[in-house]
A = this chain, B = another copy of it.
């Protein structure tokens, strides 16, 4: 479903959020350890999330990653997915046809739309902050 990039990205964002809730900035090393991901690859992913303004980064001693107060309440999974994978998941024909639309649909067109709607809803409805709270209360986990 998701690319590795997006899997690590979502896990990283939930971990960063759980720290930002306590005003704690976290370093790459801590993040990679907490979510059990390859450090350098995670660095690249965070770089991209930072460019996309989904997360904030600070260089130097006491630097690291954090989510600013403004975004805390609004960030959802779809922001992370779009920042990392673009609109791949939402656009294009499910069977790979170049021009598939309701006038000239592929055999799965309508069925695909329904699945896509379900996925989109899931991504829009889930706030990173809520997922981070589940993590903090021990209701969910980010590794193993």
Contacts and interface: CB of A to CB of B under 8 A. Distances in A.
> By CB atoms of chain B within 10 A, which of A4, A14, A118 has the most?
A118
Contact of A141 (B1, B94, B104, B112): B104
Contact of A4 (B8, B96, B122): B96
Given A114-B122, A115-B118, A118-B114, A106 B8 contact: no
A110 to B, nearest CB: 9
Interface in A99-128: 99-100, 104-109, 111-112, 114-115, 118-119, 122, 126
6 contacts: A2-B95, A11-B96, A14-B107, A77-B108, A104-B141, A115-B122
Interface of A: 1-2, 4, 7-8, 10-11, 14, 77, 89, 94-100, 104-109, 111-112, 114-115, 118-119, 122, 126, 131-132, 134-135, 139-144
